[in-house]
Amino acid sequence: MLSLGRYCIWVPSQPEKNIEQHIKDLRENIVFHNNLYYGDDTPQISDGEYDELYRELVALEEEYPEFITPDSPTQKVNTFLQSSFSPVEHLVPMLSLDNAFSDEDLRSWRDRVVKVLGSEEVDFVVEPKMDGLAISLVYEDGKLIRGATRGDGSTGEDVTENIKSISTIPHVLKDVPDLMEVRGEVYMPIRAFEALNDRQRENEAKVFANPRNAAAGSLRVKDSSITASRDLGFFAYQIGQLSDQSVISSHNQTLELFHRSGLPVNEKIINADSIDKAFEQCRHLESMRHSLPYEIDGVVIKVDDFALREKLGFTSRFPRWAIAYKFPPEEKTTLLHDIKVSVGRTGRATPFAVLEPVFVGGSTVSMATLHNEDEVARRNVRPGDTVIVRKAGDVIPEVVGPIESLRPKDSKAWKFPKKCPSCSKPLIRPEGEAQHRCWNVKCPARISTGIEYFASRGAMDIEGLGGKRILQFLDQGLISDVADIYSITKEQLLELEKTKDKSADNLISAIEKSKSQPLWRLLVAFGIRHVGPQAAKALSSNYEDIHAIANAKLEELENLEGLGDVIARSVKDFFALDSNDDLVKRLELAGVNVRGEKQESSRISNEFDSFTFVLTGTLPSYTREQIAEMIVARGGKVSSSISKNTSYLIAGDKAGSKLTKAEALDVEILDEEQFLKLIN
């Protein structure tokens, strides 16, 4: 058998016997991972990697139909039956869903639906695709008499007692036909999953790879009291069998029946009268997937009308009237080569994983944060492990955990180093804190990262002055702190290796340009603890210059809007150090702007006195800064983060996580036009 997911890409010039063998190997690998996933609940590859294997098999079988066999994973439902549970024959087969991985796939499915029906007037129902375990519930006279897993689609496992221990599944339904089979998904909420794994680690027991496997494992234990303790959830989404079919004629009516009878239904299900609206919901659910209390791995789109479903029919494995749109994979497996420690500008020592490069979440990942010593122990990762890596969009990559079944036999637990990797001074973890720190203010790593932060885009924005260039300057003795940046000459740059005339001119120009940055950027660049852009702007707009800020009394700073006692104390502590006072004087002498923007109030009304606004996305007519000025001029506050105290979110194009959080907190959302109407 070929190793995990490491198949060679097929080349047309290969002999057919190689193609036939490749297809055979591919099937064996998929079956192997099916058994791990469905039978043992211990996957060794991510869902995305499994999908890649499966798609490759489908493509090859379409190209070479003469090599298709009845036992191929593409020809049957890929699930597993445990001999420890009694078999149950389903009243109606529980089929899988066909998958779509792109807009093109969805449109192709929609075109097939329209072609069969001979009409474009089709209503759809769109629902989150829960990442859990599909089950069948049979109710007779409103009473739950049996619960079963999907199994192989025709025969499942009788897990009735365990099903009855799940608090969200009602034992008795009201106002339902004599016989009703309900299809749905058992899942484990994310908080319950994290708590379960914490308990498992404490007891040195098996740690689950993800909530789906935790849910499956919890449903397949012989002791129903264990299932009851796992805090499982359930959503009903489909009718299997109904003794009186006349009571419903559409999926929407099915969901209404579930509601009336007492069955839980996912609150994110919506109707769509066109495929474009269905697409919109796919995008919406994908954008908010990480704010949900449970995991979803896609979206299911179904034709609503049962009569139309009957016309569309089924394949041997899938209903033609439904499709599952799978989100792009955010998890992959790869090798963790080593665990190292980086030291930042504040001295904080952070462990990180050095990985075999892997493409996940839209980019190639070769490193991932491990946060601190406790997190390394909690995740139980070691050098040499095969690990699951997760990256969602712009989120920093993280190591989810190891696949312990693939761990080398000579593996040893990683220990946090006692000395700083940069200066060899002790790394100390203060009592009650999670982070180790290097307390050596002369530590090269602290100095270089501090200078890099000073020059970064969010601070002084010195383009071309990155980490590698800074290390080069430090090694050559050109700089020892941020003030030295402003004494660098073009002649010194040209003497450095790999520095050409144009790049030297560009860097000197960027350094010179940074001298005129507003004071608030300089305050941010200093890296004063707790002082971000908002606090820095509050300081620079209330004082004439940096010296006035340095000499301000603590009580005066505490009373500034947007500061508070913690930030005020941090500012006072920073300017109380003689070394920082000397740094300010050297920067001022070099020509760096230290003047504030104190000015008379431009308030024109008090109509927004009690309102807090947050802005996100790109607005059509105004910049966010201009909108913020309009708000402040009317007495309102502008915040950078959404909370329950936010009055309005003003959202433009490409609004991201703030929009999702606002929806979750039921914050009122305005577009630019609605905001302008509000102020008029």
Instruction: Confirm if 402 and 382 have CB atoms less than 8 A apart.
Output: yes
Residue 3 has pLDDT above 50, yes or no: no
Q: Do 101 and 245 belong to one domain?
A: yes
Query: Tell me, what CATH number does 562's domain have?
Result: 1.10.150.20
Range of lowest pLDDT (335-344, 394-403, 529-538, 578-587): 394-403
Let me know if residue 507 belongs to a domain.
yes
Q: What are phi and psi of 640, to 5 degrees?
A: -95, -10
Residue 2 has pLDDT above 60, yes or no: no
The C-alpha atoms of residue 204 and residue 67 are separated, in whole angstroms, by: 46
pLDDT attached to residue 172: 95
Of how many residues is the chain composed? 680
Q: Which residue is listed with tokens 């680690």?
A: 201
- Structural domain ending residue among the three candidates 326, 355, 384: 326
Q: Do 468 and 583 belong to one domain?
A: yes
pLDDT attached to residue 134: 92
Query: Tell me, what CATH number does 112's domain have?
Result: 3.30.470.30
- Structural domain ending residue among the three candidates 408, 437, 466: 437
pLDDT attached to residue 13: 38
Let me know if residue 623 belongs to a domain.
yes
Q: Nearest to residue 220, comparing CAs of 45, 46, 86? A: 86
Q: Do 421 and 286 belong to one domain?
A: no
The C-alpha atoms of residue 377 and residue 368 are separated, in whole angstroms, by: 16
pLDDT attached to residue 84: 67
Q: Do 179 and 257 belong to one domain?
A: yes
Per 3-state DSSP, what percentage of the chain is helix, strand, and coil (rounded to 5)?
Answer: 40, 20, 40
Let me know if residue 497 belongs to a domain.
yes
Q: Left, alpha or beta for 632 (phi > 0: left; psi -120 to 50: alpha)?
A: alpha
Residue 37 has pLDDT above 70, yes or no: no
Quick one: which H or E segment has residue 237?
strand 233-242
Let me know if residue 443 belongs to a domain.
no
Q: What average pLDDT does this structure show over 608-623? A: 83
pLDDT attached to residue 359: 80
Range of lowest pLDDT (142-156, 390-404, 555-569): 390-404
Query: Tell me, what CATH number does 52's domain have?
Result: 1.10.287.610
Strand ranges for 29-177 from DSSP E? 87-89, 99-100, 124-130, 133-140, 143-149, 155-157
Residue 8 pLDDT class (50, 70, 90 cuts)? very low
Angle among Cα 42, 45, 46 to the nearest 5 degrees reads 100
pLDDT attached to residue 36: 63
Q: What average pLDDT does this structure show over 512-540? A: 90
- Structure confidence by residue, pLDDT tens digits, 467-525: 889 988 998 889 999 999 999 999 999 888 777 888 899 999 999 999 999 999 999 99
Q: Do 433 and 469 belong to one domain?
A: no
Instruction: Confirm if 668 and 649 have CB atoms less than 8 A apart.
Output: yes
Q: Which residue has the higher pLDDT, 41 or 231?
A: 231
Percentage of residues of the chain with pLDDT beyond 90: 38
The whole-chain average pLDDT of the chain stands at 85
- Structural domain ending residue among the three candidates 524, 556, 589: 589
Residue 601 has pLDDT above 60, yes or no: no
- Structure confidence by residue, pLDDT tens digits, 146-186: 999 988 788 888 999 999 999 999 999 998 999 999 999 99
Q: Nearest to residue 671, comparing CAs of 615, 587, 626, 605? A: 615
Q: What positions carry a catalytic annotation?
A: 129
Q: Considering its fold, how many domains does the chain have in total?
A: 5
Number of Cβ within 10 Å of residue 614's Cβ equals 23
Q: CB burial class (10 A; 0-12, 13-18, 19+) of residue 129?
A: buried
Let me know if residue 82 belongs to a domain.
no
Query: Tell me, what CATH number does 672's domain have?
Result: 3.40.50.10190
Q: Do 290 and 251 belong to one domain?
A: yes
DSSP notation for 353-399: EEEEEEEETTEEEEEEE--SHHHHHHHT--TT-EEEEE--TTSPPEE
Give residue 220's Cα distance to chain centre.
29
| Residue 579 structural domain | 450-589
pLDDT attached to residue 10: 36
Q: Do 119 and 262 belong to one domain?
A: yes
Q: Do 66 and 125 belong to one domain?
A: no
- Structure confidence by residue, pLDDT tens digits, 125-149: 999 999 889 999 999 999 999 999 9
Q: Which residue has the higher pLDDT, 45 or 452?
A: 452
Q: Do 313 and 356 belong to one domain?
A: no
The C-alpha atoms of residue 641 and residue 335 are separated, in whole angstroms, by: 36
The C-alpha atoms of residue 417 and residue 117 are separated, in whole angstroms, by: 67
Q: Do 370 and 471 belong to one domain?
A: no
pLDDT attached to residue 384: 94
Let me know if residue 293 belongs to a domain.
yes
Range of lowest pLDDT (38-47, 244-253, 326-335, 616-625): 38-47
Q: Which residue has the higher pLDDT, 125 or 211?
A: 125
- Structure confidence by residue, pLDDT tens digits, 639-680: 767 888 889 999 988 777 788 888 888 899 999 888 988 887
Q: Nearest to residue 478, comparing CAs of 493, 467, 466, 468? A: 493
pLDDT attached to residue 361: 67
Q: Do 314 and 352 belong to one domain?
A: no
Give residue 246's Cα distance to chain centre.
43
Q: Which residue has the higher pLDDT, 61 or 228?
A: 228
Instruction: Confirm if 489 and 457 have CB atoms less than 8 A apart.
Output: no
Let me know if residue 600 belongs to a domain.
no
Give whole-number Cα distances, 71 to 24, 87, 153, in Å: 11, 21, 14
Q: Which residue has the higher pLDDT, 515 or 99?
A: 515
Range of lowest pLDDT (265-269, 274-278, 333-337): 274-278
Q: Do 188 and 280 belong to one domain?
A: yes
DSSP notation for 608-672: TTT-EEEEESB-SSS-HHHHHHHHHHTT-EEESS--TT--EEEE-BT--HHHHHHHHTT-EEE-H
